[in-house]
């Protein structure tokens, strides 16, 4: 019986996890498949040292492949003004006194929601509604844990202040979308 360290079985053992990781960050199934394939090829050329689990090691390689892809895509894509485009869409989140218009206290148990497949489907949909640069910044910061300086460099953002504005607006839009499409439904189901 083959062991988990057999590179010929990595696709069977870790392919789904790698694909989910790539899809969450890239939102493009063909690109996700290509980068998973590139990851497995790179892993076969490298040597697994056993300092972490194989899954963690492979996801680390995939993370670098995704960052490299995003870096290349940024060089090829003209910079748009995602900040101004999103400003109008976030204006209706607060009332004239600066208070939320939605009741965020009713967001029940986010840890439980994170475990549910339906949540992640809606999360990906909400992420897909963000401008690409804004979505990438949010993913790099919140899921990849990249530093402010790294994100500014990767996305060619001029100042850290601009990056914080982009992240703030991305979080607001994600919160609104998730509240409408996930948490609101959860409250209705309990009622």
Q: How is the chain split into domains, by residue range?
A: 1-78, 80-191
- Strand, helix or coil at 182? helix
Q: Which of 27, 10, 16, 22 is nearest to 63 (CA)?
A: 22
The tens-digit pLDDT sequence of the chain (191 residues) is: 334 467 888 888 899 989 988 988 888 889 999 999 999 999 988 887 778 888 889 988 999 999 888 888 777 655 555 555 555 556 666 677 666 666 655 555 666 655 567 888 888 899 989 998 899 999 888 888 889 898 898 888 989 899 999 999 999 999 999 888 887 776 666 66
Could you give the CA distance from residue 26 to residue 73 in angstroms, rounded to a whole number? 12
8 Å CB contact between 154 and 66: no
Q: What is the predicted pLDDT for the residue at 190?
A: 65
CA torsion through residues 44, 140, 31, 73, sign = negative
Q: Identify the pLDDT of residue 166.
A: 92
- pLDDT score recorded for residue 93: 66
Other residues' Cβ atoms within 10 Å of the Cβ of residue 137: 26
pLDDT of residue 180: 87
Q: Which CATH class is domain 1-78?
A: mainly alpha
Question: What is the topology classification, in CATH, of domain 80-191?
Answer: Arc Repressor Mutant, subunit A (1.10.10)
């Amino acid at each position: 019986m083959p062991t988990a360290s057999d590179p010929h079985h990595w696709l069977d053992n870790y392919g789904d996890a790698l694909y989910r990781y790539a899809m969450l960050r890239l939102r493009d199934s063909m690109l996700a498949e290509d980068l998973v394939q590139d990851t497995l090829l790179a892993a076969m050329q490298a040597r697994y040292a056993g300092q972490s689990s194989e899954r963690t090691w492979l996801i680390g390689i995939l993370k670098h492949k995704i960052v490299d892809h995003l870096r290349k895509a940024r060089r090829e894509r003209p910079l748009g003004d995602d900040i101004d485009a999103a400003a109008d869409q976030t204006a209706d989140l607060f009332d004239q006194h600066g208070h939320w218009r939605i009741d965020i206290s009713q967001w029940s148990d986010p840890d439980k929601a994170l475990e549910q497949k339906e949540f992640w489907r809606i999360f990906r949909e909400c992420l897909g509604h963000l401008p690409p640069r804004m979505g990438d910044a949010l993913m790099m910061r919140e899921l990849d844990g990249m530093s402010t300086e790294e994100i500014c460099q990767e996305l060619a953002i001029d100042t850290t202040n601009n990056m914080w504005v982009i992240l703030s607006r991305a979080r607001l839009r994600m919160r609104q979308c998730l509240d409408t499409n996930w948490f609101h439904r959860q409250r209705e189901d309990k009622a």
